Chain A
Amino acid sequence: MTLTAVLVLAAGTYAFRLAGPLLRDRLELSDRIKLLMSTSATVLLFALVATATLTKGQGFAGLALPIGVLVGGVAAWRKAPFVVVVVLAAVTTAALRFVGLS
């Protein structure tokens, strides 16, 4: 890793970040398009949840991780406080790994 590589990655990432808000200013967007863009962010984030839960690299993540996320998800669905959801997910996965389940 060189400083140049870091700077190129930083510049490219910032360009991706800035492009959205700036394009949104320039374009006259209908309500339907705005709704579609908001849905697309939800779709991307949910896909991120799914891949971060079920995959590691290009393979299956093992059972401890998805079970932990599932426990957190059920807690969230039953209206548990956000902090409880996050801690419950982590503790469940950690406990399963501790007893030897990958």
Chain B
Amino acid sequence: MRSIWRTWDPELLRDVSAVAAGAAVSGASFGAISTGAGLAWWLPVVMSLLVFAGGSQFMAVGVITAGGSPAAAVLAGLLLNVRHLPFGLAVGDVLGKGLLQRLVGSHLLIDESTAFALAQSDPRKAKAAYWSCGIVVFISWNVAVVAGALIGQNIGDPNAFGLDAAFPAALLALLLPVLKDKTTRHAALLGAAIALAATPFLPAGVPVLFALGGLLITARQKVQA
């Protein structure tokens, strides 16, 4: 573990902080929306600590608010989180070798930590980027959820501040170095087109999984080579 802290450089921390700030605003809004929907203040807090996947948490609370059953809420949330399995297959090596590192590191597997790890070419830097992003976002997200749950409805709509643009822009910036590779770029573009085309017809979370169809491009190119 010690080597991770040594490789934390100021630039990485600054980038991670930008993502964490966005997560904090989003977390505060999640806490406020949950208590506004009638949940006890501690329920969104426990949920954020144990689930730690913002999209699925908003989705689950949204299903309940719309009158859905707890089972429907869980199912909708889980559908959104299936993508973590391929994420873990891709960046599983950066967690570290020990069992404890595997168990704790897996809980920090989120879109942002995956993107931070993918953005690094050197494995040591990828490990530092993954862990620092995971830890800093975990802390800021959960502290903000507690604050939002206690303060309640007066937070306002975070999208008025353009928060919904910050998340995809951050991911896009992290992906740009990997997208320089032509095959990867073509697969990503085809995958995004499939996901967008599927969005009107499928439940949330599934269109993104369909994007894996974009990988067919890489298979074809390898056969040709």
Q: Footprint of B on A, CB under 8 Å?
A: 1-10, 12-14, 16-25, 32, 36-55, 57-59, 64-65, 68-69, 72-73, 76-77, 82-83, 85-95, 97-98
Which chain B residues border A24 with CB–CB below 8 Å?
88-89, 92-93
B34 to chain A, nearest CB (A): 8
B94 to chain A, nearest CB (A): 9
Q: Report if A68-B169 is in contact (Cβ < 8 Å); known contacts: A13-B81, A37-B89.
A: yes
B68 to chain A, nearest CB (A): 10
Residue of A nearest to B167 (CB): A52
Asked if B86 contacts A40 (CB within 8 A), the reply is yes
Q: How far is the CA of A64 from the CA of B74 in the complex (A)?
A: 31
- Interface SS, B side: helix
Q: How far is the CA of A58 from the CA of B184 in the complex (A)?
A: 27
Which chain A residues border B4 with CB–CB below 8 Å?
none
Asked if B200 contacts A45 (CB within 8 A), the reply is no
Asked if B71 contacts A46 (CB within 8 A), the reply is no
Q: Footprint of A on B, CB under 8 Å?
A: 14-15, 17-19, 22, 34, 39, 43, 46-47, 50-53, 56, 60-61, 64, 70-71, 73-74, 77-78, 81-93, 95, 102-103, 105-107, 109, 111, 114-115, 118, 159-176, 178-179, 183-184, 187-189, 191-192, 194-196, 199-201, 204, 207-209, 211-212, 214-215, 218, 222
The 4 closest A-B pairs by CB, nearest first: A20-B88, A72-B169, A47-B211, A89-B169
Partner of B103, one of A5, A18, A36, A37: A18
Q: Report if A44-B78 is in contact (Cβ < 8 Å); known contacts: A9-B51, A10-B51, A21-B95.
A: no
Asked if B118 contacts A13 (CB within 8 A), the reply is no
Q: How far is the CA of A39 from the CA of B184 in the complex (A)?
A: 6
Residue of A nearest to B222 (CB): A32
A55 to chain B, nearest CB (A): 5
Q: How far is the CA of A6 from the CA of B81 in the complex (A)?
A: 14
Q: How far is the CA of A2 from the CA of B43 in the complex (A)?
A: 8
Asked if B175 contacts A46 (CB within 8 A), the reply is yes
Asked if B173 contacts A94 (CB within 8 A), the reply is no
Asked if A59 contacts B169 (CB within 8 A), the reply is no
Q: How far is the CA of A40 from the CA of B82 in the complex (A)?
A: 13
Which chain B residues border A52 with CB–CB below 8 Å?
164, 167-168, 171
Asked if B173 contacts A43 (CB within 8 A), the reply is no
Residue of B nearest to A41 (CB): B90
Residue of A nearest to B69 (CB): A5
Residue of B nearest to A10 (CB): B50
Q: How far is the CA of A6 from the CA of B150 in the complex (A)?
A: 19
B219 to chain A, nearest CB (A): 8
Partner of A49, one of B52, B103, B168: B168
Which chain A residues border B161 with CB–CB below 8 Å?
90, 94
